[in-house]
Amino acid sequence: MIANEGYGRDPLSFFQREDQLENEVYSKLKEVLEAEADPGQIEMLPKMSFAMIKPDAYLRGLAPI
């Protein structure tokens, strides 16, 4: 399996979204990662799994406490 499969060569390309609202949120997250993470950590991103919970999911009881 190719580590960057589905995300292109840039490990941060995952944060480029077509939806305008999603793109705004993901762009801010990308800026934080670029400022706070070292290059080695950024290179590992395609090998990690994580979830972003939409704000109303907690209010509707769909997100874990």
7-26: pLDDT as tens digits: 557 888 888 888 888 889 88
Burial class for 11, CB neighbours closer than 10 Å (0-12, 13-18, 19+): buried
Statement: the pTM of the whole predicted model exceeds 0.75 = no
pLDDT at 1: 37
8 φ/ψ sector (left φ>0, alpha ψ -120 to 50, else beta): left
Task: Name the residue with higher pLDDT: 25 or 62.
Answer: 25
Contact (CB, 8 A) for 14 and 7: yes
Boundaries of every domain in the chain? 13-59
CA torsion, ordered 22, 37, 7, 3, to nearest 10 deg: -150
